[in-house]
Amino acid sequence: MTQTDESVIVPTRFSEQIREATWTDHGKAEHATFMDELTGGRLSQYEYAELVVQMWFVYQALEASAAALSDDVAVAPFLDPALVRVPALEADLEFLLGEEWRSDASPTPETEAYVARLKEVASWPGGLLAHHYTRYMGDLSGGLFIGRLVSRLYELGPDSGAAFYDFAGITDAKAFKEAYREHLDAVPFDSEEKLRVIEEIHAAYAFNTALLVGLGSRVKPKE
């Protein structure tokens, strides 16, 4: 930590700067109507599957962008195969919707906007990392809790509709996240670029929240 002339404590680790700058973003998606209905066990299997469909579109774009930048010195340390979600999402959708699920899969307007942003920043390492951080660190934090809850409430599992939440290649999520933060601290970005990354993380949270709000508007809350 460093101290400015105004006696304001400023984090020296980039990961800490991100955490402090985006603290208020975390809860917005968690309290979206759709998530309340999901974690309350009030969705149908089809409504849950609609979330999985939207995540499939998002992760397809994210992981394609990550693969395209795999040789970038800033991006490469983050690309652990254990994080890849597309195969798991596809397995979930086949279980939930059947083998022909792709014929009916379509993105919502909010998902289209999210995917468009991912494609827009696809050649910018900092932008890719902003979305990579937002999705995967969330998956390994609140996402693991949600996965356990969803599995119990909807009688799902790693081989039966909830593979998305199963990171079989990561035995210690806490240690993995700390290593991820160390990679963030080591990125070769100057202070201006780091601020750009933080702004894109804000945007990533906003796109994710909008996706969930959009799904929530399509769900009729059940008593």
CATH 3.30.420.40 matches 43-217: no
Mean pLDDT computed over 178-183: 98
| Domain residue spans of the chain | 43-217
Quote the DSSP letter at residue 2: E
Residues 45-102: tens digit of each pLDDT: 999 999 999 999 999 999 999 999 999 999 999 999 999 999 999 999 999 999 999 9
Residue pair 211/58 in contact (Cβ under 8 Å)? The answer is: yes
Query: Is residue 12 very low, low, confident or very high in pLDDT (cuts 50, 70, 90)?
Result: confident
Residues 6+ positions from 104 with CB-CB distance below 8 Å: 97
Look over the chain and give the mean of its residue pLDDT values, rounded to a whole number.
93
- 40: pLDDT strictly greater than 90: yes
Residue 22: half-sphere exposure toward Cβ, Cα within 13 Å: 26
Residues 110-125: tens digit of each pLDDT: 999 999 999 999 999 9
Tell me, what amino acid is at 103? Answer: S
**Measured CA distances, 46 to 109, 120, 153, 215, 216 (Å):** 19, 31, 14, 12, 14
> 11 by DSSP, 3-state: which?
coil
**Measured CA distances, 47 to 38, 39, 44, 165, 218 (Å):** 9, 12, 5, 17, 9
